[in-house]
Amino acid sequence: MENASKALIMAAEILIGVMVISIAVYMFQNFAGYSEETYKQMEQAQIEEFNSQFTKFYGSRTVTVNGRDTLIPIKCTIHEIVGLANLAQKNNKQYEVEGDSGGRPNSFYIQVDIAGIGSNIEKKSNDELTKYIKDNSLHMNGSSTEPKYYKCIEYKIDSATEGTKRVYYVNFKELTDREYLQIRQFEES
């Protein structure tokens, strides 16, 4: 009888040990899943923040001009575009994709174009970028000059399931005379 009670106690100890180990494994899996989900959310937030640097000049905003709601493009200057080209250049160097052709999904390469001025601005040297700024920073308005503004007309994000989820192409264009007029009217009111 004494051996039987010792055997029951040992069986209970083993059963309790297995239960404790099972609970520990279950908790570890739950915490690992939570940690993985938190990591994915942080990674997604970083990608969205990175992309926003390139996409913040895309689109238009509604403003009231002379009592009327008007859509005007989100404007930027050649200085800001060159800043984005430098950021793209730094990114391309960091990911060691400097020699890529750019403008394609599933690549960390970022291409920056300005319609009518040049493509692959991110590949230009500092001297060439300085020349871009010098040649494209002022807009002739009759006999006066004013800052030249641009708008983002297109950007592409790699949205494939296994893609990078990052911007890989951005294209700018100078504002039209009509858009300059709308902006001027808004700024004067």
Q: Record the tokens describing residue 138, joined without a space.
A: 């002022």
Q: How far apart are CA 109 and CA 175, in angstroms?
A: 27
pLDDT in the model for residue 1 = 64
With beta carbons less than 8 A apart as the criterion, state whether 74 and 61 touch: yes
Relative to beta strand 111-114, strand 68-73 is unpaired
pTM (predicted TM-score): 0.78
pLDDT in the model for residue 8 = 80
pLDDT in the model for residue 189 = 64
Q: How far apart are CA 3 and CA 12, in angstroms?
A: 14
For residue 166, give the nearest of 104, 120, 96, 119 by alpha carbon: 104
Q: How far apart are CA 98 and CA 84, in angstroms?
A: 15
The per-residue pLDDT string of the chain (189 residues; one tens digit each, 9 = 90 and over) reads 677 788 888 888 888 888 888 888 888 887 777 778 888 899 999 999 999 999 999 998 888 767 788 888 999 999 999 999 999 999 999 998 877 777 787 889 999 999 988 889 999 999 999 999 999 988 777 777 888 999 999 999 998 778 889 999 999 999 988 888 888 877 776
Query: What single DSSP character describes residue 123?
Result: G
